[in-house]
Amino acid sequence: MSLSPHNTSSNTSGSTSKDVRQYLLVTGNYWAFTLTDGALRMLVVLHFYQLGYTPLTIAMLFLFYEFFGVVTNLVGGWLGAKIGLNRTMNIGLALQVFALLMLTLPAHWLTVPWVMAAQALSGIAKDLNKMSAKSSIKLLAASGQQGALYRWVALLTGSKNAIKGLGFFLGGGLLGWLGFRDSMLAMALMLALFWLASLWLLRRDLGRSKQTPKFREIFSKSRAVNILAAARLFLFGARDVWFVVALPVYLSSHLDWSHTEVGSFLALWIIGYGVVQVYAPKITGRQSGHVPDGGTALKWALILAVVPALIAVSLSLFNVLESSESAQAILVGGLLLFGALFAINSSVHSYLILSYAQEDGVSLDVGFYYMANAMGRLLGTVLSGWVFQQWGLEACLWISSGFVLVAAIISVGLPRHSVSAG
């Protein structure tokens, strides 16, 4: 099957049309889920900081979200190959609706264990949805069309992050407009409508392996996938060690930004990050006729590693000089540069995993890879709260730079090739 518009036979055209409709449905589900996921994260961070929770305690609220993301990706890839990606995607949507409804209870019920439990369900839901969407692209793109695969992955990933940015903006706005409880209820109702549509329209056999996969096959046997997964762990740990808790709390407590300003800025950052991901194939030189390989991942990781270190040095300097305006400008500008470079790194990784993955049972390799992604987020989230509380934002940035450098060193082991974009 192919997504290319150049096939003219009626059978191929019919198949292409169906594939495009399925791609749009998968993407629509992914967008709707991501909108609620981004809003939920911003609502929880700002609401519980407003209630007086420490940065470390706020980070702990996301502990189960990230931990169960690790478990879900590891098991979810096997589950997707066994029962089909349509079912794993729909299970994810249903779990997110339930998690949102859990947070509509009266305020005195929203204890730390209860919120952590709701976040655990949301983490399971998010990674079932993400694994299902990413694996589907491998199946809906034509075999051998590496350029098309790179474009479709970049479009899905970039648009998802733009929608997540809107979710951050939505979360900050809803907290001031509807309050915490009613915001959760509104998002649950919206996502429930998408879930019902997905139950009706999503193809029944999407992603089901021709042979029943054994549970022990959840661990990848591919050296390339294993190396890429290790690099991904440190790459996403490098982002979340300063982005998840440290940055929004710093903007609110040190720079006196309002909740709406924090939510709006982070939203615009993620939207811009998503736009760069969409254009990543052009930025990384696809027009020259080649697609990324391990050398591409190494090069862009080395460039990215410099940015957090420069921001940390600059912040320390301006803090000594007591120039808060300059520190704010450095932080904002550095964050924008980090976002653009991180987006390119992420897009290259997202393409490589689908390029390396086996087509039959693709969700097994993709699930294992995103398990490492979730481990990186878990590590980064915990460190974000603890390191910021103990040593401040500059320390988080130094750790971020070190993590990206480790990802670059690991990327040395990735395969090099010269594949035509097709």
Evaluate whether residue 264 is within a structural domain.
yes
Strands of 124-235, DSSP E: none
Evaluate whether residue 257 is within a structural domain.
yes
Question: pLDDT by residue (tens digit) across 242-268?
Answer: 888 889 888 888 888 887 788 788 888
CATH of the domain at 253: 1.20.1250.20
As for how many domains the chain has, the answer is: 1
Provide the domain limits for residue 129. Answer: 10-411
Evaluate whether residue 309 is within a structural domain.
yes
Torsions phi, psi for 416 (to 5 deg): -105, 140
Give the pLDDT band (50/70/90) at residue 288. low
Evaluate whether residue 422 is within a structural domain.
no
Evaluate whether residue 5 is within a structural domain.
no
Evaluate whether residue 388 is within a structural domain.
yes
Share of the chain above pLDDT 90, in %: 30
This model's pTM is above 0.85: no
Question: pLDDT by residue (tens digit) across 375-422?
Answer: 998 899 889 889 998 999 999 999 999 999 999 999 999 998 644 444
In angstroms, rounded to a whole number, what is the distance separating the alpha carbons of residues 46 and 183?
A: 13
The SS3 of residue 11 is helix
Evaluate whether residue 418 is within a structural domain.
no
Torsions phi, psi for 202 (to 5 deg): -75, 135
Residue 141 has pLDDT above 70, yes or no: no
Evaluate whether residue 3 is within a structural domain.
no
